[in-house]
Amino acid sequence: MTVSPRSSETAPAGIALEPPAAPLAGTLRFIRYAFMPNRLRYCGADVNRTLFDHAVERVDDGGLAPLLRSFTGALPYLQLIARANGIRDPFDVRVVEAYWLGSPLLERVEVSELYDSLRERFGRQLQGRSRELVLGKAPAGARPHHSFHVLDVHSRVGELEHSLATMDGCRVSWGRVVRADGGELVAKRSPLVLRDGRLALDPPREERIARQVDGRGFADDARPGDWVSIHWGWVCEVITDAQRSALERWSRHHLAIANETI
């Protein structure tokens, strides 16, 4: 008999409940968010099936970290967060959560550390005004969160086509589950819009979001009322109220910073 981590059920006399699943490794947590952009060939090596199988089966056999180092857009941010917090492994689950969702670990990254990291990565690639704008985001309050890279870096380093739809798909967003419908969830999600020349989040609306490939996914136990994280139209995982709050906080923080130079 399997008990959901959200259940407070106790075992009847004489019946032993299975222990809850072991905490998810940071590498597997990272895959939940990196899977769809990798599938779409936006980032990482061509190892999509391997990553998907490991994440679904919750197996980290020690060979994942080398594969994940091909995600060169995210890795420098993970390394920066880890270093600023005295964490050795950039794929530590705490670091992974800070980058994709947000956590107090981001606040321990000094302005000078982010500035130096951005200058090292993009200082030669960018010229003139674009270089000034990207580097200037560190003293403006940016932190090494995925939303910062999407809203203020992607468009200036030419990694993806720059459009509102691209930014909306690439950012990690959040939605509240209304119902499951086969391999999709219907969830209420706030889309990114351009209003009066500024980026903003519209009120939540129902959207259909993919949650399974070949009948498997990372949020098969999602129920109506749950919060889920979403990346490139894919349900990454069920998240807590606190995680949803952190994601919204850091997303809105970087929207405000992006709007300063839009």
Per-domain residue ranges for the chain?
26-162, 167-240
- Contacts for 69-78 with beta carbons within 8 Å, 24 or more apart? 70/44, 70/45, 71/30, 71/34, 71/38, 71/43, 71/44, 72/43, 73/43, 73/149, 73/159, 74/30, 74/34, 74/43, 74/99, 74/146, 74/149, 76/117, 76/121, 77/117, 77/144, 77/145, 77/146, 77/149
Chain-centroid distance, C-alpha 238: 12
pLDDT of residue 31: 97
Q: Which of 51, 38, 58, 25 shows the shortest CA–CA distance to 220? A: 58
| Distance from C-alpha of 24 to C-alpha of 154, rounded to nearest angstrom | 29
The one-letter amino acid code at 248 reads E
The arrangement of secondary structure in 167-240, i.e. its CATH architecture, is Roll (2.30)
Within 13 A of 262's CA, how many CA atoms are on the CB side?
18
pLDDT in tens, the chain (262 residues): 233 333 333 333 443 333 344 568 999 999 999 999 999 998 888 999 999 999 999 999 888 999 999 999 999 999 999 999 999 999 999 999 999 999 999 999 999 999 999 999 998 888 888 899 999 999 999 999 999 999 999 878 765 566 899 999 999 999 999 999 999 999 999 999 999 999 999 999 999 999 999 999 999 999 999 999 999 999 999 999 999 999 999 999 999 999 999 8
Residue 145 CB burial class (10 angstroms; 0-12, 13-18, ≥19): buried
Q: How far apart are the first and last CA of the chain?
A: 54
Q: What is the CA radius of gyration of the chain?
A: 19
DSSP letter assigned to residue 11: P
Beta strands in 204-251 (DSSP E): 205-210, 227-231, 234-239
Q: Where are the alpha helices (DSSP H) in 137-187?
A: 146-148, 154-157, 164-170
Residue 134 and residue 118 in contact, taking contact as beta carbons nearer than 8 Å: yes
Q: Which residues are bridge partners to 184 per DSSP?
A: 181, 210
pLDDT of residue 70: 94
| Distance from C-alpha of 230 to C-alpha of 220, rounded to nearest angstrom | 14
